[in-house]
């Protein structure tokens, strides 16, 4: 029914067209109601990226996609319990919907970030075999992760219908457009997810990388679509003294009031950007503002004032948000909140693990304090900036995937960040990753949400 209201608001000055559209929609809904029961939980193989034009043919997508385990198995999505009610769109009007047409304030929008994970027998649209861009540490299937149940859930917003990500439609919308995902390794994780989801329609061609292979750019030749991933873990200028395994030899020198030019130089030419930061602010650092040391975090013996990371996070986010809100940017800018981790019985550096193999039930998973503090700071700074952005005509939107991710402790590589970690020794002690996300995996569903927001923007 939401679609009708959406159409209503679009066409309220054009009643004739509106009536026609409603008639078509009602016929469609009746048709859908009629068939809904019989097709409800069948695998959906008629995916929407069936070729409609003469674009390069996708690789055969059905072959390498792991099937849900056939036998009854704890990793299998539960068959009947826990399946939430069908989405509202099947035609049962909800009370608040009936009011909608009379309500001038109704915008046709609903909260895409509140919902549930529901069984999805069709699973992911790509695999380690069909997408060559998955980073080794997140390539869980190739690395020998034995369970596959975590692949068969999809995000289902509670009050709106979320169409599946449609790579063909996405690429068509993005003809001649430029995107950048800016931030830390979670942004890299995300860019790989997005490129993989587009790969059945067109494979991205890498056209640039920096010396350390941290920032990259890809081009989709047929669609002339450019996607950049900009490594900027603090978004502000930072001198970092650590190796690729996260072992550091000195505190980070952080310039809280100087934005990292690696992204700001690019910013003006982007049609879309997703900007985020987070966990790096927890590290030991010396804080500078106006070229003067103003304090530090975890710096014993340094004769600087311990300020705590929230001090730095608020300041850095303030400068970032202010830049965005006053930029006069004409594109669509997303600010993404940082993502929760699921380390149990320890953290990254001291043996934490994440052994769960199914999504958490509602209320079963609590957000850790650090994740909560980061997010609260982000939301507060975003809130302050969004009024200013609106005044300046900047299209700034929030991506807050916290709800979606908190309930997915099963989505991380865990020990399978390494290739077959237990091949030689079943009891081997290995580094677990409960911070990044397996690909394919839960963050693929970010793209469903983002596409919906792009389509409706």
List, by residue number, the catalytic residues.
Answer: 185, 433, 436
Residue (130 or 447) nearer to ligand NAG, CB: 130
Region binding ligand NAG by CB under 6 A among candidate stretches 156-164, 335-343, 419-427, 447-455: 419-427
Binding residues among 61-90 for ligand NAG as defined by CB under 6 A: none
The residue within the footprint of ligand NAG, chosen from 142, 169, 318, 368 (CB under 6 A), is: 142
CB atoms within 10 A of CB 192: 22
Task: Confirm or reject binding of residue 290 to ligand NAG (CB under 6 A).
Answer: yes
Residue (12 or 175) nearer to ligand NAG, CB: 175
Task: Confirm or reject binding of residue 141 to ligand NAG (CB under 6 A).
Answer: yes
Region binding ligand NAG by CB under 6 A among candidate stretches 69-77, 172-180, 181-189, 320-328: 172-180
Residue (100 or 275) nearer to ligand NAG, CB: 275
Distance CA(321)–CA(319), nearest Å, equals: 6
Q: How far is the CB of 26 from ligand NAG (least distance, A)?
A: 33
Task: Confirm or reject binding of residue 426 to ligand NAG (CB under 6 A).
Answer: yes
Q: How far is the CB of 134 from ligand NAG (least distance, A)?
A: 8
Binding residues among 360-379 for ligand NAG as defined by CB under 6 A: none
CA angle 415, 118, 334 (to 5 degrees): 75
What token pair was written down for 113? 């970030």
The residue within the footprint of ligand NAG, chosen from 129, 250, 298, 455 (CB under 6 A), is: 129
Q: How far is the CB of 193 from ligand NAG (least distance, A)?
A: 16
Binding residues among 247-266 for ligand NAG as defined by CB under 6 A: 262
The residue within the footprint of ligand NAG, chosen from 176, 244, 249, 429 (CB under 6 A), is: 176
Residue (37 or 290) nearer to ligand NAG, CB: 290
Nearest-CA neighbor of 12 among 103, 99, 78? 103
Crossing angle of the two packed helices 444-455 and 185-198, in degrees rounded to 10: 70
Residue (130 or 386) nearer to ligand NAG, CB: 130
Task: Confirm or reject binding of residue 215 to ligand NAG (CB under 6 A).
Answer: yes
Contact 452, 166 (CB under 8 A): no
Region binding ligand NAG by CB under 6 A among candidate stretches 80-88, 146-154, 354-362, 425-433: 425-433
Q: How far is the CB of 197 from ligand NAG (least distance, A)?
A: 17
Q: How far is the CB of 351 from ligand NAG (least distance, A)?
A: 16
Residue (237 or 448) nearer to ligand NAG, CB: 237
The residue within the footprint of ligand NAG, chosen from 53, 303, 350, 429 (CB under 6 A), is: 303
Binding residues among 227-246 for ligand NAG as defined by CB under 6 A: 231
User: How many chain residues are in contact with ligand NAG, going by CB under 6 A?
Assistant: 20
Residue (138 or 178) nearer to ligand NAG, CB: 178
Task: Confirm or reject binding of residue 224 to ligand NAG (CB under 6 A).
Answer: yes
Give the chain as a 3 state SS string: CHHHHHHHHHHCCCHHHHHHHHHHHHHHHHHHHHHHHHHCCCCCCCCCCCCCCCCCCCCCCCCCCCCCCCCCCCCCCCCCCCCCCCCHHHCCCCHHHHHHHHCCCCCCCCCCCCEEEEECCCCCCCCCCCCCCCCHHHCCCCCCCCCCHHHCEEEEECCCCCCCCCHHHHHHHCCCCEEEEEECHHHHHHHHHHHHHHCCCCCCEEEEECCCCCCEEEEECCCCEEEEEEECCCCEEEECCECCCCCECCCEEEEEEEECHHHHHHHCCCCEEEECCCHHHHCCEEEEECCEEEEEECCCCCCCCECCHHHHHHHHHHHHHHHHHCCCCCCEEEEECCCCCCCECCCHHHCCECCCCCCCCCCCCCCCHHHHHHHHHHHHHHHHHHHHHHHCCCEEEEECCHHHHHCCHHHCCEHHHCCCCCCCCCCCCCCCECCCCCCCCCCHHHHHHHHHHHHCC
The residue within the footprint of ligand NAG, chosen from 12, 40, 67, 175 (CB under 6 A), is: 175
Residue (37 or 429) nearer to ligand NAG, CB: 429
Region binding ligand NAG by CB under 6 A among candidate stretches 45-53, 80-88, 170-178, 396-404: 170-178
Contact 359, 153 (CB under 8 A): yes
Residues at the interface with ligand NAG (CB under 6 A)? 128-129, 141-142, 144, 175-176, 178, 210-211, 214-215, 224, 231, 262, 290, 303, 425-427
């Amino acid at each position: 029914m939401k679609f009708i209201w959406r159409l209503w608001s679009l066409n309220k000055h054009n009643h004739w067209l509106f009536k026609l559209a409603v008639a078509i929609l009602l016929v469609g809904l009746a048709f859908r109601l009629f068939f809904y029961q019989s097709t409800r939980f069948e695998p959906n193989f008629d995916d929407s990226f069936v070729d409609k034009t003469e674009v390069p043919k996708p690789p055969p997508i059905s072959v390498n996609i792991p099937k849900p385990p056939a036998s009854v198995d704890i990793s299998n999505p539960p068959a009947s319990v826990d399946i939430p009610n069908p989405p509202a769109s099947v035609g049962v009007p909800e009370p608040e919907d009936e009011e909608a047409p009379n309500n001038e304030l109704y915008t046709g929008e609903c909260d895409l970030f509140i919902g549930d994970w529901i069984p999805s027998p069709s699973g992911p649209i790509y695999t380690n075999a069909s997408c060559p861009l998955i980073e080794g540490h997140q390539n869980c299937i190739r690395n020998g992760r034995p369970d596959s149940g975590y692949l068969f859930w999809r995000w289902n917003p509670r009050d709106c219908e979320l169409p599946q990500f449609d790579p063909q439609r996405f690429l068509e919308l993005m003809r001649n457009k430029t995107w950048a995902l800016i931030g830390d390794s979670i942004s890299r994780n995300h860019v790989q997810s997005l490129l993989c989801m587009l790969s059945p329609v067109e494979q991205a061609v890498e056209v640039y990388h920096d010396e350390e292979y941290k920032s990259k750019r890809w081009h989709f030749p047929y669609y002339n679509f450019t996607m950049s991933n900009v490594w900027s873990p603090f978004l502000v200028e930072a001198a970092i003294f650590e190796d690729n395994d996260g072992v550091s030899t000195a505190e980070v020198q952080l310039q809280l009031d100087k934005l990292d030019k690696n992204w700001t130089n690019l910013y003006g030419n982007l049609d879309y950007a997703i900007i985020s930061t987070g966990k790096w602010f927890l590290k030991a650092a010396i804080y500078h503002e106006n070229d003067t040391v103003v304090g530090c975090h975890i710096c014993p013996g340094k004769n600087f004032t311990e300020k705590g990371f929230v001090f730095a996070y608020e300041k850095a986010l303030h400068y970032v948000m202010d830049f965005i809100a006053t930029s006069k940017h004409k594109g669509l800018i997303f600010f993404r909140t940082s993502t929760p981790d699921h380390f149990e019985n320890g953290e990254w550096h001291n043996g934490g693990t994440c052994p769960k193999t199914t999504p958490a039930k509602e209320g079963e998973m609590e957000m850790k304090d650090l994740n909560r503090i980061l997010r609260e700071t982000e939301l507060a700074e975003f809130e302050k900036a969004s009024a200013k952005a609106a005044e300046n005509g900047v299209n700034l939107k929030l991506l807050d995937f916290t709800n979606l991710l908190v309930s997915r402790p099963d989505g991380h590589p865990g020990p399978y960040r390494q290739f077959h970690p237990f091949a030689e020794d079943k009891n081997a002690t290995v580094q677990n990753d409960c911070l990044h996300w397996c690909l394919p995996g839960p963050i693929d569903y970010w793209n469903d949400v983002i596409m919906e927001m792009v389509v409706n923007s």
